[in-house]
Structure 1
Amino acid sequence: MGPLGYDTNDLPQVGRSASDDILPAAQASRASWIEALGVQATIYATPAVLQYAQMSEQVLRPGAPGRMASFAHERIPAGPEFQAFRAPNVDTLYSNAWVRLGEEPAELRLPDFGGRYFTVQVVDAYSNSINISARTFGSAAARYWLVPPGWSQEAPDDVAVVRVATTIIWLLLRIQVLDGDLDVVHELQDQVGLTGGEPGDDLGVVVGADEVEEDWRAFFRAFDAVLRLNSFPYDEWVHVRQFRGLELLGPRPWDPDVLDPATAGALERSFATAQSLLRSSRPQLGVATGTGWTRVLDKGAHGHNFLARAVMNHVGLGANVAEENTSFNTHVDSTGQLLAGRNGPYSLEFAERPPQTAFWSVTLYHAETGRLHANSAHRHALGSAALGDEGSARLVISHTDPGTANWLPCPEGEFYLILRIYSPGQEVVAGSWLPAPVRRGAGASDRL
């Protein structure tokens, strides 16, 4: 026994109940209990439901542009109109594929990327991530088998086996754009192959991305579908089993029409409470660095930190593990005031460039929506591609054009910044390198 608890596997007096937990009989007490469970369920399920909704829109709904087990390639960098998920980067081209694993592996084939940065992020149904990249497997042409839970066969010698945790997985490919060489990136995208996996015609529940953030009924329908398709980690059984009190994972798919009015009202209130909680918790995401920035140490690998996991995915889906892409977020300036164009201009100084072996960038997003800011310069980020990798650098962040090449346009209202460092140096991963605070004024003279 210790501070982390004890193992119950060999303890006969500690076991699983054969029945669901009880629910209070009194209507008011029952509604209070359901409301408490509903908040927990919404927080737990948010990453899975948001991903499921994205899959629905991309490959399941009637007229969807894609299909299961097939890559859909973005041919231009993300812009303000990008809707697939919040807070996209603008340094790479994205490619998406959704795979429903059966009893056999799915095969992924990648070309030789040479020295160009790439990563295939393999994301399970609950947003846990691993990567196929130069860091993990090298950049030469290769074949990979994505194998389902319980698979125990032998793979050919020339195939790398990648084990995944859930039946439904999301493959998110990023390929770096160098000096606008989109044609080269398109050729690499077209050489990516994917075979195997099961069709998605019988998945049944189809929901929209906006719908699951606005309608509690759509949210819980999707959560029930996720649980039925993927189950859940064994060590989260005691947490998830509570949600049977919400009629999830019952003998039939979840149906809000069979709920009594008190239960339905409690779930509706719990969903609204959880959404408000997620929005208000965004600035707390990550560990404070003391410079106004926060650093998410466990993105893509949150473990049992369900609130942090939910907030991370509420900010933007598909967050990479820190070893692949360390990111820093800030909503505030050096005085702790929220960033807003009406209070600018601002400057961000780099006495030395972020240590990395690939590249880095600072990207700006609307605080409320997580979307890129439309502006006359068509510029959404600045980093090593524009500023180089050596010496100092200064970014000027303002709503109006200061007439300098290092201008990062912002809206008049509130915004936030993400500093992404791809293939980060060890000092970044370890936390000994930190970005400077965002300061009011345009630089040393505080004048434009």
Structure 2
Amino acid sequence: MRLLLVVGLIAIPLVGCDRQPSSGKPAADAPRVAASTAAAAEPAVDELRAIAKDAYIWGFPLVENYKTLYQQALDRNGPNFHAPLNAIGNSANVATPEDTAIITPNSDTPYSFLWMDLRAEPLVLSIPAIGDKRYFSVQLIDLYTFNFDYINQSVTKGEAGNYLIAGPQWKGEAPKGIDKVFRSETPFAYGLMRTQLFDPQDLDNVKRLQAQYKVQPLSAFAGTPAPPAPPAVKFPPYDAAKANGPEFFSYLAFLLPYAPLNADEAGLRDRLAKIGVVPGKPFDADRLSPAARQALQDGIKDADAELANFVATQINTDKVSSADLFGSRAQLKGNAMYRFAGAKQGIYGNSASEADYQAYFVDAKGQPLDGGRHDYVLRFAKDGLPPTNAFWSMTMYDGKTKLLVDNPLDRYLINSPMLPSLKRDPDGSIALYVQAKSPGQDKESNWLPAPTGPFYVILRNYSPRPEVVDRTWKRPPMEVSR
């Protein structure tokens, strides 16, 4: 799920950055603009705080998305770098506690990563023949973090194909040999690719498939002259400390030229301008008065407090599911809190049609899960396993870091491919032991190791059956066993 499951621009010149004129389209070669003088005419502190709160809720997914873009495709010396823009990077193994670029990561499927710059021309992504037994998907995500489409088994039917991915400015025709065209609302987009690993012995097969994923510019695919290169972008380095304070709005101002204005958000954009967050103009938080700077920080705190309340009253009570938090712009219907919650607690969650996520944050009595205080058990009835067309998994996450949990078994999940190795009780049920210490050698096959502190567990179901999505199937409670 990443449901439970992103830069400092100050004094950094934006020479060569695209700038969004009144038409909403990025200019071809925008000049450098003077630093904002918002401090000279600041709104009242209460208004600043209110705008900052709404701006953070709406804008956090963009900034969190930029964090991953920067780490995976721009910071070549960083530990999470995979491949430059418009190239595919493959991860030859599943996620471990050492992987920190994405919170609440999926450890069932080795990833491939494709960050796309679609300003000059579309890209063509070629998928090999995968067959109908192995799950795979290419989740297409725009800068807003909307899942604008998928390339998966329902599209390819397990056969090889070529798929064109275009940005908002492309007006051309797809050439012969293209099986389907996908359009991104934003000129930068992400292709997050998952390829199912059946078991450790299957890893070489996954690697062979990953090596066959291919991307190229449309001109190269069609054998036509390449268009002119787009203007160079001065991408600011991502700084987590700045991104979580008033400088957050510097990141947002940088990203806005690449987030074309949607008419439904015009009012919010006008409010952003009132605090100096204007597309293409550097936002200098140091030019604000101390009171205004504190108001921005307080607005961020207000947004996080509203999220905490939303999680406690809506998500933890199952009034809102992960299916509500992730999807296309049309599916989310302008609900900024849903998008914020998804990005804050587990960015890049799948749309409901692709995967279902159910989170365990509390036990059967509504108390927060804590491996330092209790041992727990999840018991699936004989015929009560999660219904799926592909596979399901239960993955453990540290409640503080939202990352995988280091443990002596190097086991981060229990999933349906592991069913033959799990022990069943005499009545056919399966008990999973969720705790920090081993439940004993006779039960270790069913042990999901927890940290000695807060944790949560995500139940993922890929290609879920209807009874999962409509909640006709009920997951078992997390019971305290000690």
TM-score with structure 1 length normalisation? 0.86
1:298 matches 2:324: yes
**Which SS does the other structure have where 2:325 is aligned?**
coil
Of residues 106, 110, 122, the one that matches 1:93 is 110
- Could you tell me whether the CA contact under 8 Å between 2:119 and 2:230 is conserved in 1? no
Q: Name 1:383's counterpart in structure 2.
A: 415
Is the partner of 1:342 in helix, strand or coil?
coil
3-state secondary structure, aligned to 1:298: helix
Aligned residues: 416
Q: Percent identity?
A: 30
State how far apart, in whole Å, the 1-side matches of 2:155 and 2:242 are: 35
Separation (CA, whole Å) in 2 of partners of 1:137 and 1:222: 37
Give, in angstroms, the shift of residue 370 of structure 1: 0.5
Amino acid at match of 1:309: R
For 2:389, which of 357, 381, 391 is the aligned residue?
357
How far does the alpha carbon of each residue in 1:95-128 deviate from its partner, in whole angstroms, 9 at most, with x for none? 1111111252111111111121101000011111
Q: Which amino acid aligns with 2:72?
A: Q
SS at match of 2:278: coil
Given candidates 91, 96, 100, the residue that maps to 1:79 is: 96
Deviation at 1:145, TM superposition (A): 0.3
Where 1:189 maps in the other structure, the secondary structure is: helix
Match of 1:411 in 2: 451
Specify the code of the residue in structure 2 equivalent to 1:236.
E
Structure 1 Cα separation of the partners of residues 458 and 316 of structure 2? 14
Amino acid of the structure 2 residue aligned with 1:63: N
Cα separation, partners in 2 of 1:139 and 1:427, compared to 1, 3 Å? same
1:295/1:209 CA distance change after superposition, 3 Å:
farther
Residue 398 of structure 1 corresponds to which residue in structure 2?
A: 435
> Does 1:48 find its partner at 2:67?
no
Aligned-pair CA distance for 1:224: 1.0
Distance 1:423-1:339 versus aligned 2 partners, 3 A rule: same
Q: Which residue of 2 aligns with 1:335?
A: 365
Find 2:352's aligned residue among 322, 338, 345.
322
How far apart in 1 are the matches of 2:140 and 2:195?
15
- Contact 1:282 1:315 (8 Å CA) reproduced: no
Residue 166, structure 1, aligned to residue 219, structure 2: no
> Deviation at 1:426?
1.4
State the alpha-carbon separation in 1 of the partners of residues 448 and 467 from structure 2.
27
| Mean CA deviation greater in 34-43 or 344-353 | 344-353
Asked if 2 retains the 8 angstrom alpha-carbon contact of 1:50 and 1:212, the reply is no
Task: Pick one of 466, 471, 478 that aligns with 1:426.
Answer: 466
1:125 equivalent in structure 2? 143
CA distance in 2, matches of 1:212, 1:330: 31
Indicate how the Cα distance of structure 1 residues 93 and 209 shifts in structure 2: closer, same or farther if over 3 A, else same.
Answer: farther
Q: CA distance change for structure 1 residues 370 and 200 in 2, over 3 Å: closer, same or farther?
A: farther
The 1:233/1:137 distance shift into structure 2, 3 A limit, reads farther
Question: How far did residue 203 of structure 1 move?
Answer: 2.5
DSSP-derived class of the 2:372 partner: helix
Aligned-residue offset at 1:30: 0.8
Question: Runs ≥4 in structure 1, deviation > 6 angstroms?
Answer: 23-27, 197-201
Task: Tell me, yes or no, if the aligned pair for 1:60 and 1:200 is still in contact at 8 Å.
Answer: no
Deviates more, 1:326-335 or 1:269-278: 269-278
C-alpha offsets along residues 273-309 of structure 1, whole Å, 9 cap, x if unaligned? Answer: 334544564445647348xxx6322232233221221
Q: Which residue in the other structure is 1:142 paired with?
A: 161
Change (3 A) 1:103 1:203: closer
Structure 1: state its 5+ residue gaps.
1-15, 17-22
CA RMSD of aligned residues (A): 2.7
CA 1:213–1:348 in structure 2 vs 1: closer, same or farther (change >3 Å)? farther
| 5+ residue gaps, structure 2 | 1-21, 23-37, 219-227
Higher-RCO chain (CA-CA 8 Å, sequence separation at least 6): 2
C-alpha distance in 2 between matches for 1:251 and 1:192: 35
Distance (Å, rounded) in 2 between the aligned partners of 1:209 and 1:308: 25
1:61 offset after TM fit, Å? 3.4
Query: What's the secondary structure of 1:267's corresponding residue?
Result: helix
- Counterpart of 1:367 in structure 2 is 399
SS at match of 2:294: helix
**Alpha-carbon shift at residue 227 of structure 1 (Å):** 0.7
Taking the aligned partners of 1:408 and 1:156, their CA distance within structure 2 comes to 50
Distance 1:79 1:93, change over 3 A: same
Indicate the residue corresponding to 1:215 in structure 2: 245
How far the C-alpha of 1:131 sits from its partner, in A, is: 1.4
Q: 1:287 to 1:333 in 2, by over 3 A?
A: closer
- 2:17 alignment counterpart: none
| Aligned pairs for 1:174-193 within 5 A | 174-180=194-200, 181-193=202-214
The structure 2 residue matched to 1:36, chosen from 30, 35, 50, is 50
> How far, CA to CA, are the matches of 2:150 and 2:231 in structure 1?
28
Distance 2:313 2:186 in 1: 29
Contact 2:139/2:193, CA 8 A, preserved across alignment: yes
d(CA) in 2 for partners of 1:245, 1:101: 31
Three-state SS of the structure 2 residue aligned to 1:194 is strand
